[in-house]
Chain A
Amino acid sequence: MKNRFNFAIIAAIAIVFTACQKDDVAPVAVPAYSSTQTLTVNFSATKPFAFFGFKDSALVANSDSTTAKWDFGLRLTTFLVNSNASGPGKAGVIMQDGIFASLNTAPSSGYAYDTTSTKLAIKDGSWYDYNALSHAFIPKAGKVFFFRTADGAHYAKMQLLSVNYAPFAGPAPSQLLYKFQYAYQPSGSNSF
């Protein structure tokens, strides 16, 4: 409940921001919008992806999976970016090694796209270590994801903070909680 409430506030703020920028002509860097969110992500291949949109800073309803409202999607450890095989958007991603706080410029080119459903922009296993013993998916430290958003006109940087199993009863967990931090530059500039 609490999370949803936060989502709503953040979404509201984000809407205010985007509304302000509609008339911006040249992308002049404004203070980036920063937030930390937690996504609940399904395991099962028969369950839907969790989609997230930086612009609205919110979980995007599954019914909007064929729109450009979301930037990335997650199921178990599969990352989708909203492009080509995965969606109608123009979202791309670059994974870079470094410190989130000090990487303040998104690359202007070189973004990877979900070319086909088996050749995704973010390769499974490239961003975490799976511990076969504790069954923990530990996101690698020092990995920063730069996104060009689904509208093809904005930039965001994101880092995963933790991936934990959602509390469960029964033999095995069925959901993961992804906690991540991001900064979205509403101006269209690639500086944060």
Chain B
Amino acid sequence: MKKTHYFFTIALVLLQLQGFAQTRVFKDTLDGSSETVVVTANRSERKMGNVAVPVILISKKTISQTGSLRIQDILQEQTGIVIVNSALGTSLNGYPNPFGQGVQMLGLDPAYTAILLDGEPLIGRNAGILKLGRLATGNIKQVEIVKGPSSSLYGSEAMAGVINILTDQPSKENIGFQLHRASNNTWGTTLSYANRIHKTGIQFFLNRLSTDGYDLDPNIYGKTVDPYRDWNGQLKITQELSSKLQLLISLRNYDAKQDNNYQIFYQNLPAIASGYTTETDRSAFAQFKWLLSPNSKLYFRGFYDRYTNQSFVNLDKTGLRFDETSFDQSVFKPEIQYEKNRPGKSQYVAGFGSNIEMIDASRYAGKQNLATLYAFTQKEWYLLSQKLTLIAGARVDKRTDFDLHLSPRLALAYKPNGHWKFTASAGWGFKAPDFRHMYLNFYNAQIGYSLLGTATLGQELTKLQQQGLLQTGADISAYANATGLKPETSFGMHVGAKYTSGRLVAEWGLFRNNISNLIDVYALPFTRSNGLPIYSYRNVGQVFTQGAEMDLSYQLSKHVKLSGGYQFLLAKDKQVLENIDNGMLYKRDPISLQSSLVSRQDYVGLANRSKHSLNAKILYETATGFDAYFRAVYRGAFGFMDKNGNNIIDNDAEMTPGYWMLNLAASKTIGSKIRVQIGAENLLDYTNPVQLSNIPGRTYFINLNLNIIQPTKHKLP
């Protein structure tokens, strides 16, 4: 019955809790009656209404009301969350973006948002982007999105924020089955089982998804998205070892296979190449929760995850291997966390751990390891009769290859009365240079350029020179002892206000992020012997993102709820602004081809950012088990690629026009066990084969749900 994007809402929570009971009560955020708990904002359980940093919460109910099987579809309906294509690979006309799509938050690229599953990081990012399609939606309990630098708790990558996807916990006996059928011969089947027997809890989830993919441009050989099938499985077991000690074990397995089938040129003749990409992601998580006293606990956690991706194509005519790549990443993360609660006075959380990562990929120079040690601490005080919450926290990270990095955060929330809540937060974020920045060793055989990571640069240049593959006379001495990259850093601020009164909930927020030491690609001053460039990475950029956001929701009648959100965003490069002010930046007229100076008005900002984005939703829900949910999401025009010779976005020809996505789903519960849902996504049939090949045209789906719930025989702990 309710949706999304409320930063510190308890009204939301109340709606969710009581929606089923058809008692629509709007209470203020102070009475503490809410039981919905979020864990991501403070790395420990907090009532949603008490959180001092911006949090979006997406409930299981909302996910089920959208009917979507793709987490990115659900995320993009939240205010300030935009699903963007990787800036890399956007020009491969008619082919899917090989780097996929990710989450842009506060105007920052997908690489700067930490994505967690049950609090642990997902690995296997390709050029900074984590393929969200890897996650099934059927077992999601809730999604928590924390906006703003969160490195003080989560370390590297949490520069724009954190998305924590929490999956179902073992609960009362429940057997669920879902059949999903959608356009493009898409089939999904889901089986879930949960039970608690004495002191043991179990939760099992299995999902298979297959599709024929789709083709947006029949003139190009092959499909835009090739057929694939995914398997997703999860098993969670909880065991009460004693009244004070609980064990949680979670095992996860993802296994995907996708066809590769496209046209290449072999010996200057067109040829068809085909093969497969197989992906696996397997993780194991164990946690001991030790209740030291009623108000303090200790967690011991161990997490292991391994992601592999193997891809090949053979020439159809000869069967010979044309290309193959492999990628194998794993992480081991032991951690200890302590929590102390002084009810009504303060809460304290601290922990330490390490992150040991390994990577072995065909495009990287050999097998590489990185280890990070970290420790974090945060205290939260409740002052002025609990009207004021103050939070101070910090984390230190020490990775083997760079100096100790400190990330503090301060936040406060003030609730003067039952209607208003004001928040302010400031935090420092960072993102450590990742494996590709350091160890990439990539030669594009078709085009002829090289891209080398900083740690391998000196060695590779020497090798190239010895093999005579460098421009003659190139002076590589400056690169012999490559200096390491520094972490990218950010400082972010957010101020917000929230008003709750009767049927209305309104929220406003202003944010600003300054990012320094951005890592960017640059060309070395000499070339390969073929005359084509050699690229590497360096810390150069300074950018800022700033904007405003607003959310409104209004209960129009007993059955109808309206909600909507808007984000205004500016994201600019400080160096570009300086160059414009100094009269050093020119543009070329697309028709006359003559140059002229760029003005501040011309400069749109960083590519891929929409100045305006908004969403509007109508939810209709009856007491008799019928609901209909309509969502409209608008993504405003955004910069695509420079065309006029200044490397910035400064005219309409360089922009992708804005577009709407309209989605509708309706469901009806039949009896106590069956629910039927039908829906359509992208009702306007918007497509953009070149720049947004990830958007299929209009699709329809039908879901059949069967839920067998039995009253629990055992008391929940």
Report A's interface with B, CB cutoff 8 A.
43, 45, 75-78, 97, 99-101, 116-119, 123-125, 129-135, 138-143, 159, 161-162, 170-172, 179, 181
Contact = CB atoms under 8 A, between A and B. Distances in A.
A97 B586 contact: yes
11 contacts: A45-B529, A45-B531, A76-B531, A100-B594, A118-B471, A118-B473, A124-B527, A131-B641, A141-B645, A141-B646, A142-B597
Interface string B416-455: 0000000000000000000000000000001101010000
Nearest to A124: B527
Nearest to A99: B595
A181 to B, nearest CB: 8
Given A97-B586, A162-B593, A129 B642 contact: yes
B85 to A, nearest CB: 11
A142 B595 contact: yes
A192 B269 CA distance: 50
Nearest to B265: A171
A161 B590 CA distance: 10
A131 B525 CA distance: 16
Interface in B24-78: none
Given A141-B644, A170-B265, A172-B446, A179 B91 contact: no
Contacts of B527: 124
Contacts of A141: 586-588, 595, 644-646
Scoring B527, B533, B593 by chain A CB atoms within 10 A of each residue's CB, the highest score goes to: B593
A29 to B, nearest CB: 23
A171 B472 contact: no
Contacts of B117: none
A142 B643 CA distance: 14
A131 B535 CA distance: 12
B596 interface: yes
Given A141-B644, A171-B268, A133 B596 contact: no
B209 interface: no
Contact of A140 (B451, B521, B645): B645
B530 A117 contact: no
A97 to B, nearest CB: 6
A159 B595 contact: yes
- Majority SS of interface residues in chain B? loop
Interface in B651-681: none
Interface in B250-272: 264-265, 268-269
Contacts of B472: 117-118
A125 B595 contact: no
Nearest to A172: B446
A101 to B, nearest CB: 7
A138 B447 contact: no
Name the 5 nearest CB pairs between A and B, nearest first.
A142-B586, A171-B265, A118-B473, A141-B645, A141-B586
Contacts of B89: 133
A133 B87 CA distance: 9
B241 interface: no
Contacts of A43: 531
Nearest to A130: B533
B523 interface: yes
Contacts of B264: 171
B596 A171 contact: no
A161 B91 contact: no
A64 B128 CA distance: 51
Contacts of B526: 118, 124
A134 B91 contact: yes
Contacts of A172: 265, 446-447
B142 interface: no
Nearest to B475: A118
A117 B473 contact: yes
Contact of A139 (B268, B473, B645): B645
B88 A133 contact: yes
A75 to B, nearest CB: 7
Contact of A132 (B449, B525, B584, B586): B449
A115 B666 CA distance: 74
Nearest to B92: A133
B171 interface: no
Interface string B514-540: 000000010101110111110100000
A77 B526 CA distance: 12
Given A132-B521, A141-B587, A171-B265, A77 B91 contact: no
Given A129-B647, A141-B645, A142-B586, A118 B593 contact: no
Interface in B626-659: 641-647
B474 A118 contact: yes
A78 B529 CA distance: 12
Given A133-B92, A142-B586, A172-B446, 16 more contacts: A45-B530, A76-B532, A99-B597, A118-B471, A125-B525, A130-B533, A132-B521, A134-B91, A139-B645, A140-B647, A141-B587, A141-B588, A141-B595, A142-B585, A162-B593, A170-B265
A100 B647 contact: no
B156 interface: no
Given A99-B596, A141-B588, A159-B595, A134 B641 contact: yes
Nearest to A126: B525
Contacts of A45: 529-531
A119 B474 CA distance: 9
B479 to A, nearest CB: 16
Contacts of B521: 132
A140 to B, nearest CB: 5
A99 B449 CA distance: 32
Interface in B572-601: 584-588, 593-597
A168 B14 CA distance: 64
A76 B587 CA distance: 23
A76 B474 CA distance: 18
Nearest to B527: A124
B150 interface: no
Nearest to B473: A118
A158 to B, nearest CB: 13
Contact of B584 (A75, A76, A97, A179): A97
B454 to A, nearest CB: 17
Contacts of B474: 118
Nearest to B593: A161
Contacts of A124: 525-527, 531
A18 to B, nearest CB: 27
A78 B596 CA distance: 26
A34 to B, nearest CB: 13
A61 to B, nearest CB: 23
Contacts of B586: 97, 99, 140-143
B533 A116 contact: no
Contacts of B644: 138, 141
B36 to A, nearest CB: 44
Given A170-B268, A171-B268, A132 B647 contact: no
Contact of B642 (A131, A135, A142, A162): A131
Contacts of A99: 586, 594-597
Q: Which of B92, B474, B532 is most buried by chain A, counting CB atoms within 10 A of its CB?
A: B532
B151 to A, nearest CB: 30
B71 to A, nearest CB: 27
Contacts of A170: 265, 268-269
A67 to B, nearest CB: 25
Q: Which of B90, B473, B531, B595 has the most CB of A within 10 A?
A: B595
Given A118-B471, A172-B446, A123 B525 contact: yes
Interface string B460-474: 000000000001111
A134 B90 CA distance: 8
Nearest to B592: A161
Contact of B90 (A133, A159, A161, A179): A133
Contacts of A78: 531
Interface in B446-503: 446-447, 449, 451, 471-474
